Copies of this chain bind each other. A is one copy, B any other.
Amino acid sequence: MDAPHAVVLFSGGLDSATALALAREQGFICHALSVEYGQRHAAELAAARRLAGALGACEHRLMRVDLAGIGGSALTDLARPVPDTPTSGIPVTYVPARNTILLSLALAWAEVLRARDIFVGVNVLDSSGYPDCRPEFIAAFESLAALATKAGVEGAGVRLHAPLIRLTKAEIIREGLRLNVDYAQTVSCYQADAQGRACGRCDSCRLRRAGFLAAGVTDPTRYQGLQS
């Protein structure tokens, strides 16, 4: 039997790089999808381009949708600073409906490819508390997908895999290292510079740094202001 195909949402960050490596380990032929939605940290897309092949994707596609035009998030509105300290509740880096949009684009591409499987690197434990990273959101999207497409109606269905969803950041990192993911090449920072170097202060940097510490491995992240 031929290996199954999967679409893997791939931002170029630590989590989605690990999700891609896990999808490959499970035997999927992986079509990596990055989305340029107007995020200030466009350096993650450059990382995605560099990494997709190294992680074994058979192809890498970039789709564009302009969410900066509507604003509503510190990640897409340059007038709203990214916080340097933790905040309570859902932070201003939340992008309205982002994962719904990303998954709907992945669903479209999967249907064209006749792929039944979609991978997404969301996780709920060491995350910023975004509503669209929770297991109940993932389950609801999978239910929607079965009704939304011709493939779904004709019985092929869609399986939405979120293999990291209940892992800590340290566990994610250990999984990735086991699969030889080169985390030095990944960009998680919300305000990475053009070279992909991290600020070290934003929520995403804090979670990532704490993950390497908890995993007991050296943090390979290239930080701004340091020689790299």
Binding site for B on A (CB under 8 A): 61, 63-67, 69-72, 90, 94-101, 104-105, 107-109, 111-112, 131-132, 134, 136-137, 140-141, 143-145, 147-150, 152-154
Could you tell me if B72 and A97 are in contact, using CB atoms closer than 8 angstroms?
no
Identical copies of this chain, number: 2
Query: Whole-angstrom distance from the CB of A122 to the nearest CB of chain B?
Result: 12
10 contacts between A and B (CB under 8 A): A65-B65, A90-B154, A97-B108, A100-B108, A100-B149, A104-B104, A131-B152, A140-B140, A140-B147, A140-B148
Q: Given the interface contacts A64-B65, A136-B147, A144-B141, does A97 sit within 8 Å of B90 by beta carbon?
A: no
Q: A101-B105, A144-B141, A144-B144 are in contact. Are A96 and B150 (CB under 8 A)?
A: yes
| Residue from the list B105, B109, B140 in contact with A144, Cβ < 8 A | B140
**Interface class of chain A by DSSP:** helix
Also in contact, A112 and B137, with CB within 8 A (given A65-B64, A65-B65, A148-B131): no
B residues less than 8 Å from A148 (CB atoms): 97, 99-100, 131-132, 137, 140
Interface centre among A67, A94, A104, A136 (most CB of B within 10 A): A104
Partner of A150, one of B94, B108, B143, B153: B94
- Greatest chain B CB density within 10 A among A64, A65, A132 is at A65
CB neighbours of A70 from chain B (8 A): 61, 108-109, 112
Instruction: Given contact pairs A95-B108, A100-B149, A141-B144, enumerate 7 new A-B contacts (beta carbons under 8 Å).
Output: A61-B69, A65-B105, A70-B108, A100-B104, A132-B147, A134-B147, A143-B143
Give, as a whole number of angstroms, the nearest-CB distance from A117 to chain B: 15
Determine how close the nearest CB of chain B comes to the CB of A167; give it in whole angstroms: 21
Shortest beta-carbon distance, A208 to chain B, in Å?
Answer: 23
Are B131 and A72 touching (Cβ within 8 A)?
no
CB distance from A87 to the nearest CB of B (A): 13
